[in-house]
């Protein structure tokens, strides 16, 4: 699974990483193309490493990856919060403390 390190400017996007992100989001090549405002044939060429996206597109891919990671973290925290509520008499759970205690993102 790919992950984004905020200390780096952006990932080196190759075909496998683009395809992994697309599949992680549950999108077809056409879906990703619409979101990036490119032709779906370009997505296929990128995924086969026949061509590579321009810098402005890699910035968009970086943002999509951050969104995917954020969404996964939110889903995990919501599930953990439900477990904590069920196991304790807590009336409130802080999502940051859940992440620090239970998640390794």
Determine the pLDDT at residue 33: 98
Tokens encoding 96: 């940051």
Determine the pLDDT at residue 46: 98
The segments of the chain whose pLDDT lies below 70 read: 1-10, 75-105
* Interatomic CA distance for residues 105 and 103, integer angstroms: 6
Q: Just give the CATH number of 15-102.
A: 1.10.260
Sequence-separated (6 or more) residues with CB below 8 Å from residue 57: 36, 38
pLDDT in tens, 71-85: 877 766 666 666 666
Determine the pLDDT at residue 23: 94
Determine the pLDDT at residue 8: 43
Nearest to 38 by CA among 20, 26, 22, 17: 22
Buried residues in 91-104 as b, exposed as e (16+ CB within 10 A): eebeeeebbeeeee
């Amino acid at each position: 699974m790919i992950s984004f390190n905020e200390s780096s400017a952006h990932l080196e996007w190759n075909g496998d990483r683009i395809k992994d992100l697309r599949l992680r989001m549950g999108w077809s090549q056409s879906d990703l193309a619409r979101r990036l405002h490119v032709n779906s044939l370009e997505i296929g060429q990128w995924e086969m490493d026949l061509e590579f996206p321009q810098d402005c597109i890699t910035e968009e891919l970086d943002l999509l990856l951050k969104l995917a990671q954020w969404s996964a973290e939110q889903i995990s925290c919501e599930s953990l919060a439900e477990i904590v509520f069920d196991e304790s008499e807590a009336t409130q759970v802080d999502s940051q403390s859940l992440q620090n205690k239970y998640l390794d993102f």
